[in-house]
Amino acid sequence: MIEATATPVEVSLQAELLVAETPGQIVRKVAAAAEQDKLPRYVAVEGPIGVGKTTLASRLGQAFRYPVMLEPVAENPFLDRFYAEGAQHALPTQLFFLLHRARQVADMPGDDLLGPSLVADFLIEKDKLFAKLTLDDEEFHLYEQIHANLNMNPPRPDLVVYLQAPAEVLQQRIRDRGIGFEQGIKTEYLAELADAYAEFFYYYDEAPLLIVNAAEIDFANNHNHFEALLDQVFQMDGARQFFNPNPTLL
């Protein structure tokens, strides 16, 4: 049985512990953007494991004073077995995430006609990306049947932030954060995952998309890096933009 999900507000309070305190300059910049109606209401942060999406989502939620909705990685009882033993655990791993994400979509706040004020570290539409990568044909057919019967209708994000980094960078960040069951993840799998994300977002046109080269930036601890990203967010003009910062100049 899947355990009950924490509410977005509860998750937001937990997420604040992950990031540095928001400095006054950024607080003022966010307030000015809100007055000018440049503050997106619903932001989804995406990217492969290790790229920093949860950290960035947490910091955006803290800066915007929005609830934060996080993927249930720690709650998935099959994930450690999938990373350790592979394909035989792919289907239950994927179905746990699918059902949990469906519940999260149902729990998304919708307090007015403008939609939720929310930051999430996942985009529900990308769920099939992992399914195609890890399931065989019969398992994927079963997955698609279950997916269709869930009748999910998630709100459209005002902005999707897609974080990119090479597989070698992802591998190093996974090592650095030291989560036990992640240490067996192979660089080859991370490369396949990064390629799958790149293909997915190459065709993605459901919401405005900011593509960020996150290989050398530190959104958790470097206020300049985070502020530079905010500038890009508030200057979004059009369906797709790229942010490729030089960290030494920030």
Catalytic residues: 121
Strand 118-120 relative to strand 159-164, pairing: unpaired
- Nearest partner of 4 among 89, 114, 106, 83, judged by Cα: 106
The beta-strand segments (E) located in 96-225 are: 118-120, 159-164, 209-213
- DSSP, collapsed to helix, strand or coil, labels residue 221 as coil
Exposure b/e, 28-63, CB count within 10 A at least 16 = b: ebbeebeeeeebbbbbbbbbbbbbbbbbbbbbbbbb
Asked if residues 25 and 135 have their Cβ atoms less than 8 Å apart, the reply is: no
Label residue 22 exposed, middle or buried (CB < 10 Å: 0-12, 13-18, 19+). middle
